[in-house]
Amino acid sequence: MPASKPSDPDADTSAHRPLRTFGRIKSRPIKPLQAALFDSLLPSIAVPDPAAGPIDPMALMAGSTSAWLEIGFGGGEHLAAQAARNPDTVILGCEPFLNGVASLLRHVDEGGLKNVRIHADDARAVVQALNPASLDRVMILFPDPWHKARHNKRRLVQDEFVADLVRVLKPGGRLRFVTDWENYADWAREKFDANPALQFTGPADRHAAPDDHVVTRYEEKKLGDIAPIFLDFVRI
């Protein structure tokens, strides 16, 4: 998800909602054909409302053999490519940036992808609603870095969220975190290492992209302060 921030990042401090971990939700106008997919396609592939009750990801696609979650799918290139490579895996994608949702809807439509489910909002609500030990894999790619120290509290990766991820991962389930901000990589590594249910698995060269990684347009823009850092963990 692009590195951005709301114009007043300290404005949403209501006790009734968590701090926002993401920046803008819309930038340029959405193209008409993509906008139409919000009405024609999104309702049929939307993740159930997290407020309505527990979510069993395996029940979202008949015949699925595994369930993955991608948090912050940006333009959707990575998620769509993974879905095409793994047609028996139902992949849930969460992204509050509406232009990104529109882009993924186009990828799903053009690729005829049947195994994608979308939540066009904060991922934390979905994670909290998922059944325990229901995911085989979680991918967090380029979350908003909130690189100023006073805004670190808004980072997605916090102790409580890591605990939520551990709850929904199956034993042996995998977690990948990717960022192009060095301080966030160090922050995330510390948070993940602090949870005894997660074991770091590499890569040894943290800049070495794993074989199954898909490079995205955002990644190619090189907006961070360092080359992408990859951190992989397994739920033990």
In a domain, 108, yes or no: yes
Considering its fold, how many domains does the chain have in total? Answer: 1
Reported pTM: 0.89
In a domain, 66, yes or no: yes
In a domain, 26, yes or no: no
Residue 144 catalytic?
yes
pLDDT of residue 2: 39
Q: How far is CA 33 from CA 25, 30, 206, 220, in A?
A: 19, 8, 39, 26
Ordered per-residue pLDDT tens for the chain, 236 residues: 434 333 444 544 444 567 664 545 556 789 999 999 999 999 999 999 999 999 999 999 999 999 999 999 999 999 999 999 999 999 999 999 999 999 999 999 999 999 999 999 999 999 999 999 999 999 999 999 977 888 689 899 999 999 999 999 999 999 999 999 999 999 999 999 999 999 999 999 999 999 999 999 889 999 999 999 999 999 99
Give residue 153's domain range: 32-235
Distance CA 94, CA 57 (A): 13
- Given a contact cutoff of 8 angstroms between Cβ atoms, the answer to whether 53 and 128 are in contact is no
Polymer length of the chain: 236
Q: How far is CA 39 from CA 12, 29, 85, in A?
A: 29, 16, 27
CA 198 to chain centre: 18
In a domain, 14, yes or no: no
pLDDT of residue 156: 96
In a domain, 102, yes or no: yes
In a domain, 4, yes or no: no
* Choice among 121, 136, 144, 232 that is catalytic: 144
Distance CA 109, CA 195 (A): 39
CATH of the domain at 93: 3.40.50.150
